[in-house]
Amino acid sequence: MVQHVQTKDAYQDVQQKHEIKRPVVKNCIKAFLIGGLICLIGQIITTFYIYFFDFTEYTAGNPTVATLIFITMLLTGFGLYEKIAQFSGAGTAVPVTGFGNAVISSAIEHRSEGFVLGVGSNMLKLAGPVIVYGVFAAFVIAIIKTIILTIGGI
């Protein structure tokens, strides 16, 4: 038993010596800056739609999201989005562009299998759960809000 404990401790010492140190703060700053840049681009697109196409602040959201996904599609198709994602990490995964990239990447990857069985079915493997969880979360939040308003809160 003593031999086992010494071996375990020795292994952990060797593991800690060879473990790659991750620059967590640096990665967080890069993710924050690139994610913020994506959001800034989204805000610029929203402002563009408001001033040039007579959308309101409430109605400009849908075409803004569609435009961001279209830009993501182009960047993914040309292989640029992956390079940006490698640099920024989670900064590109969190906004809607990360979702668009995941759907588009799987469509590109499976295009050789055909449009229905390849692109269509594999493209929605990621989109399905994301949509289900989003709808479920919205449902739960709506229930909570209804309960709070019924009780007489907020």
102 assigned to some structural domain = yes
Structure tokens, 49: 């739609």
With 0-12 / 13-18 / 19 or more C-beta atoms within 10 angstroms meaning exposed / middle / buried, residue 12 is exposed
Query: Residue 139 pLDDT > 80, yes or no?
Result: yes
101 is a domain residue: yes
pLDDT interval class at 127 (50, 70, 90)? confident
First to last CA, the chain: 61
Contacts of 66 (CB under 8 A, 6+ apart): none
Residue 8 lies in a domain: no
Q: What is the pTM of this model?
A: 0.69
Asked if residue 5 has pLDDT above 70, the reply is no
Q: pLDDT band for position 63 (50/70/90)?
A: very high
- 13 falls within a domain: no
Categorize the per-residue pLDDT at 153 as very low, low, confident or very high, splitting at 50, 70 and 90.
low
* Structural domains of the chain, count: 1
Q: Give the mean model confidence (pLDDT) for residues 2-14.
A: 70
Q: Is 5 within a domain?
A: no
Is residue 41 assigned to a domain?
Answer: yes
pLDDT at residue 106, as a whole number: 79
Q: Closest Cα partner for 48 from 81, 71, 74?
A: 71
Domain that holds residue 131: 20-151
Question: Greater confidence, 40 or 101?
Answer: 40
* pLDDT band (50, 70, 90) for residue 94: confident
In a domain, 2, yes or no: no
Give just the sign of the alpha carbon dihedral 136, 140, 142, 143.
positive
* pLDDT value of position 3: 56
Domain presence at residue 99? yes
